[in-house]
Amino acid sequence: MNLTHTKLQPFPHSPPLTHPTFLFSSRSLLPFPRNLKPAHVSPSFLYKKHTLLRYGCFGVSRSRTRSSISEVEEEQKQKPVLVKRAYPFDEIEPKWQRYWEQNGTFRTPNDVDTSKPKFYVLDMFPYPSGAGLHVGHPLGYTATDILARFKRMQGYNVLHPMGWDAFGLPAEQYAIETGTHPKLTTLRNINRFRSQLKSLGFSYDWDREISTIEPEYYKWTQWIFLQLLKRGLAYQAEVPVNWCPALGTVLANEEVVDGVSERGGHPVIRKVLSLFITKQPMRQWMLKITAYADRLLEDLDELDWPESIKEMQRNWIGRSEGAEVEFCVLDSDGMETDMKITVYTTRPDTIFGATYLVVAPEYTLLSSIVSTEQRESVEGYQDIASRKSDLERTELQKEKTGVFSGCYAKNPTSGEPIPIWVADYVLGSYGTGAIMAVPAHDARDHEFASKFNIPIKWVVTPNNGSCVESGKAYSGEGIIVNSSNLKVGLDINGLSSKEAAYRVIEWAEKVGKGKKKVNYKLRDWLFARQRYWGEPIPVIFLEDSGESLPVLESELPLTLPELDDFTPSGTGEPPLSKAVSWIKTIDPSSGKLAMRETNTMPQWAGSCWYYLRFMDPKNSNELVDKAKEKYWSPVDVYVGGAEHAVLHLLYSRFWHKVLYDIGVVSTKEPFKCVINQGIILGEVQYTACKDTDGNYISADSADDLDEYLQEIIPEERVVKSGEFFVLKDNPNIRLIARAHKMSKSRGNVVNPDDVVSEYGADSLRLYEMFMGPFRDSKTWNTSGIEGVHRFLGRTWRLIVGSPLHHGAFRDGTLVTDEEPTTEQLRALHKCIAKVTEEIEGTRFNTGISAMMEFINAAYKWDKQPKAIIEAFVLLLSPYAPHMAEELWSRLGHPDSIAYEAFPKADPAYLKESTVVLPVQINGKTRGTIQVEKGCSEEDAFTLASQDEKLSKYLNGKPIKKRIFVPGKILNVILDRQHVKAGSIQ
């Protein structure tokens, strides 16, 4: 069999081949003839993936393009297997990606026509990891690309940029492990990410690409820090931090999981980083986000965000109204001392029920309170608590732990002595670091008191007089009882909780025991990192006095020095302390010797404001031009993961409000609408349980699955039985079927490069949108992509035709210039209305379903009018842009489809022209028929007589009369006297 020569083109992101382009024939590997143009080549037959794809052809990863000629020749000894393409995506996609890049199709001009509406759609800044993209990443990117293409076609100026959040701990740790400078690995990762994104046909404006590691960018990150410093919103303090000795740096709370570092799994200590590590006091840079707590809370109501995200931010900010009350510490003889413990409570009405106090392990006065007998126990407990994250300590389901301090305090209302306990479910960073515990009316306190045999005193009864379930706390409001002490002048018995709370605060302020207080869970942002790979903090310290001074704005950017040794010092000193010549400087104002700050900014810094830089990425004079910012702000649609709800999104809102206050931006909020895409989980894995003897155990009979050995079972050994999966050769063994988040450790990562090489980028885009609702989590199934791939193949063949005898497709199309029929127009406009509605509602899967229904209908037509097909190709273009561009070109259009007008549905064709008419025989409904609106009685009866189900009741039967209500019912009354018995069933 002769194989038509096929030109092998490297995938767009692959590097140029180091050997000539080759032709495969059935016998040999030949250089591509220089006089043979691509048009002479039939691309319809390809070798199977194990032959051609190994050499980097048709979109495999660049690592596969480096095979030597000898390896290729060796492969040719095997007989090639031919695969027929559903459509020539391997030619179409690289062709149009080159066209878009060469013509700057998606470049947004610096000066746009501001009379036109704008649409700013943005993906959350990706971190370019060495692993590259997996198929979960393009989910959000595809959605924003569909929206961007849709809005361009509707006449909007569209800003759709991409850039890189490139500073951070992962790159630095990789540099330490390999000895490679983090800049080199980061740039290499960026190149890989960029090439993968381009291979998927996303319509980013690559002229606006930015990266947080570019000095031209972080100059303005440093400038923002200086504005914070000027306004007292940046300051230094000694605060408890998550210190990781192995990594040699402070970690943010989100970088600590179960008491160990997220990267590397190293133990983390929660302490004030001072003399015990650094041999000198070490102060941390903090940003005063708490100053904006109320505004961050109040402005949430105006945002078109998922309610769950807004609620997470509300809880994180944690505004509460209550009171601060002083409890006097008693000495060993039970006498009052000068030492006071101030607690914050949101339920001052329950103060008579406070039977003990709890202070955090890091409470500042603890060392002065603890008794000599209990000191060793308390210090041991403090050490254990320091290794837990805040999340672990406050987890409601976690068993409560604590230790008695050995001392007591006096309840200011009841006058009773109550014990002071140390427990890690209280945080030193919240409130005052101490609480009054009311075990009868707080679940955590009740659990703790029950465990340690502390008295429980009831002071609130439910309003409805119902009984409280035994053994549980009642945390609701109600009527106050057991709450009177005339000696101190306070009696709140019989009052409602709200009235009692007001009365207690009034009393506390009068006698000097407390005051009304609004409190927040939100803490100031720890902004310093003991790392090399981050933005230098633009501050110097005078050698003689230690006074801190800002670097002059004219000297920005303060660039990161080159270092060969990035390893942690082990003393808490940042790696930048090794850059001796860089550290030493002179204060330009006084001429005094000074030292530069050696901590760097956290990774979050650069990603706080990047959305603004995309509006004006090349501006060297200001952060963003005011006119451009005013036009493009705010971001209209911002798509990303829900895991950034209380970190990146909250930090960005804080910085934006500061920039609003100083006149840099014109809006109070940065992101008008936030959408969280669902997670794409890896393919379902089947696991069998085994006992210690290696025998299979059915999953439903195992009490604790963790006690058994687990074995992953390949899919070919699995069969579904009812709702469960079992072993094919032993159906009694039920398996665990579970999909997990994609990760290298689980081995379930699917590389989009491989999917693109086999099915094309348009198929991958469509499949990710078709898997289910955009916001829901979904399970990847590689075989599932074949369905949308067939749909694209059917679309191609409907318009272009089937392949010719030698495998190639014709150059033109099969469309005709005939006027479309009413039926065709109805099908088209119904599809237009549905696709438009679903894109606007980000219900992309149902939009694809509408296009599939249209193609099914179109295959029943004898001819394909050009007016109908052109409109459908326009509908398809946001989803499958490569195919749409090719079809648009073949339909005779010289320009890109990207800026063609998106079709509008004509309401006249959306009205239903037919109705379903019930048909009764002698008053009993026997079926229905579909008739045109306005159908006559005679036409309705004729249709009923022709219906397969109804004809047996009507044909040949004598009819007495017909009752017809247009559009409602047809009732045929038979003449029973002339009907044989038993003829009517």
Q: At CB < 8 A and 24+ separation, what contacts does 260-265 make?
A: 263/169, 263/170, 263/173, 264/173
Which token pair is 974? 């038979």
348 plus 493 within the same structural domain = yes
**Residue 566, Cα to own-chain centre: how many angstroms?**
31
**887 pLDDT tier (thresholds 50, 70, 90):** very high
Secondary structure letter of residue 281 according to DSSP: -
Task: Say whether both 599 and 511 belong to one domain.
Answer: no
Q: What are phi and psi of 791, to 5 degrees?
A: -60, -45
Quote the CA–CA distance of 432 and 286 in Å, as a whole number: 19
Domain count of the fold of the chain: 5
Q: Going by DSSP bridges, is the β-strand pair 460-462/478-480 parallel, antiparallel, or unpaired? A: antiparallel
CB 532 within 8 A of CB 544: no
Structural domain includes residue 349 = yes
Same-domain check for residues 891 and 836: yes
Residues 505 and 368 occupy one common structural domain: yes
Domain end marker among 753, 782, 817:
753
d(CA 932, CA 889): 39
Question: Could you tell me the pLDDT band of residue 19, with boundaries at 50, 70 and 90?
Answer: very low
Q: Is residue 35 part of a domain?
A: no
Q: What is the CATH number of the domain that holds 902?
A: 1.10.730.10
454/556 same-domain check: no
* C-alpha–C-alpha distance, residues 351 and 495, integer Å: 14
Is residue 211 within 8 Å of 164, Cβ to Cβ? yes
Residues 894-907 as b/e (b if ≥16 CB within 10 A, e otherwise) read eebbbebebbebee
Give me the pLDDT at residue 744, please.
Answer: 67
CA atoms within 13 A on the CB side of 709: 9
Query: Do 327 and 436 lie in a common domain?
Result: yes
For residue 666, is it within any domain? no
Q: What is the pLDDT of residue 608?
A: 96
Residue 7, domain member (yes or no): no
Confidence of residue 838 (pLDDT cuts 50, 70, 90): very high
Which residue's structure tokens are 């075989």? 783
The predicted model gives 195-206 an average pLDDT of 97
pTM given for the model: 0.80
Tens-digit pLDDT profile for residues 847-871: 999 999 999 999 999 999 999 999 9
- For residues 536 and 560, the answer to whether their CB atoms sit within 8 Å is yes
Percentage of the chain modeled with pLDDT above 90: 62
Which segment of 104-108, 400-404, 427-431, 613-617 scores lowest on mean pLDDT? 427-431
Q: Which of 587, 542, 582 is nearest to 561 (CA)?
A: 582
Q: Find the CATH number of the domain harbouring 970.
A: 3.10.20.590
Q: How many helices and strands, by DSSP H and E, does the chain display?
A: 28, 46
Which residue, 520, 552, 578, sits at the end of a domain? 520
- 3-class DSSP string for 34-79: CCCCHHHCCCCEEECCCCCHHHCECCCCHHHCCCCHHHHHHHCCCC
Residue 940 lies in a domain: yes
Q: Which residues contact 252 (CB under 8 A, 6 or more apart)?
A: 242, 526, 602, 604, 647
Q: Binning pLDDT at 50, 70 and 90, where does residue 28 land?
A: very low
Q: H/E element holding 480?
A: strand 478-480
C-alpha span between 436 and 544 (Å, rounded)? 46
Q: Which residue has the higher pLDDT, 113 or 269?
A: 113
Confidence at residue 84, expressed as pLDDT on a 0 to 100 scale: 63
Same domain as 503, residue 404 = yes
Inside any domain, residue 190: no
The reply to whether 902 and 936 lie within a common domain is: no
Single-letter amino acid, residue 817: D
DSSP 3-state of 563:
coil
pLDDT given at position 523:
87
Q: Which 3 state secondary structure label does DSSP give 88? A: coil
Tokens of 795: 């679309």
Q: What is the pLDDT of residue 979?
A: 52
Beta carbons of 654 and 292 less than 8 angstroms apart: yes
CA dist 101 and 202 (Å) reads 11
Of 520, 547, 574, which one is at a domain's C-terminal end? 520
The angle at the Cα of 670, spanning 192 to 316, to the nearest 5 degrees, equals: 95
Tell me, yes or no, whether 258 and 323 share the same domain.
no
Is the Cα dihedral 315, 316, 320, 323 positive or negative?
A: positive
Q: Residue 504 — φ and ψ, nearest 5°?
A: -65, -45
Q: Return the SS3 of 857.
A: helix
Q: Which amino acid belongs to residue 175?
A: A
One domain for residues 460 and 435: yes
In a domain, 185, yes or no: no
Q: Which domain covers residue 704, as residue numbers?
A: 680-753
CA distance 557 to 554: 8
Does residue 845 carry a pLDDT above 80?
yes
256-277 residue pLDDT tens: 777 788 777 888 876 665 544 4
Q: Where do we find the tokens 């990117």? A: 141
**Which residues lie below 8 Å from residue 295, measured CB to CB, with a gap of 6+?**
657, 668
Residue 347 structure tokens = 């339920």
Comparing CA positions, the residue from 390, 389, 308, 162 lying closest to residue 649 is: 308
| Residue at 823: amino acid letter | E
Q: What is the torsion angle, in degrees rounded to the nearest 10, for the CA atoms of residue 256, residue 269, residue 293 and residue 425?
A: 90
Distance CA 569, CA 561 (A): 17
Query: Judging by beta carbons within 10 Å of its beta carbon (0-12, 13-18, 19+), is residue 721 exposed, middle or buried?
Result: middle
The predicted-structure confidence for 287-310, as pLDDT tens digits, reads as follows 999 999 999 999 999 999 999 999
Place of tokens 């732990």: 401
Which is nearest to 362 in space by CA: 452, 290, 434? 434
Same domain for 243 and 384?
no
Q: Are residues 252 and 345 in the same domain?
A: no
Residues sharing a CB contact under 8 Å with residue 23, sequence separation 6 or more, in sequence order:
5, 6, 7, 8, 29, 30, 31, 32, 33
| Longest CA–CA separation in the chain, Å | 122
Evaluate if residue 60 carries a pLDDT over 60.
Answer: no
> How much is the mean pLDDT over the chain?
86
| Residue 8 covered by a domain | no
Per residue, what are the HEC states of 755-809? HHHHHCHHHHHHHHHHCCCCCCCEECCHHHHHHHHHHHHHHHHHHHCCCCCCCCC
The 10s digit of each residue's pLDDT in 913-943 is 778 899 999 999 999 998 888 889 998 999 9
Sign of CA dihedral 507, 509, 513, 517: positive
